[in-house]
Amino acid sequence: EDQVTQSPEALRLQEGESSSLNCSYTVSGLRGLFWYRQDPGKGPEFLFTLYSAGEEKEKERLKATLTKKESFLHITAPKPEDSATYLCAVRGGSYIPTFGRGTSLIVHP
């Protein structure tokens, strides 16, 4: 059974204070690891897909990295508008996405 664990559950940062979110996973035959951003009361918005260890993707202040056991979402010099819940998901041999519980990020001005 595929499993995804995200940490921390919640993170409070000051504007400009860089940090990282963790996503640990176990999956049979990784076919993709996905990061999403979710704002309150809305559906998740797709950010990145990573397929193999060593791969990195960047978008503005966000950078996602992948190893064989975990993925990190690095947030560089965050702004208040980066406040959201960040979800990690994996797709394995079943092709069904399995999600973690998310990390709630609050960035204070």
Partner 1 sequence: DGGITQSPKYLFRKEGQNVTLSCEQNLNHDAMYWYRQDPGQGLRLIYYSQIVNDFQKGDIAEGYSVSREKKESFPLTVTSAQKNPTAFYLCASSTGSPGSTEAFFGQGTRLTVV
Residues that bind partner 1 (CB under 8 A): 31-32, 34, 36, 41-46, 49, 87, 89, 91, 95-102
For CA atoms 97, 2, 91, 35, give the dihedral sign: positive
Which CB sits closer to partner 1, 11 or 16?
11
Shortest Å, Cβ 55 to partner 1: 14
Written as six digits, the tokens of 29 are 């035959």
Shortest Å, Cβ 52 to partner 1: 15
Amino acid occupying residue 43: G
CB atoms within 10 A of CB 84: 20
Shortest Å, Cβ 71 to partner 1: 14
Which CB sits closer to partner 1, 41 or 54?
41
Which CB sits closer to partner 1, 78 or 102?
102
Shortest Å, Cβ 14 to partner 1: 25
Which CB sits closer to partner 1, 51 or 77?
51
User: DSSP per residue over 39-98, as a string?
Assistant: -TTS--EEEEEE-STT-EEEETTEEEEE-SSEEEEEE-S--GGG-EEEEEEEE-TT---E
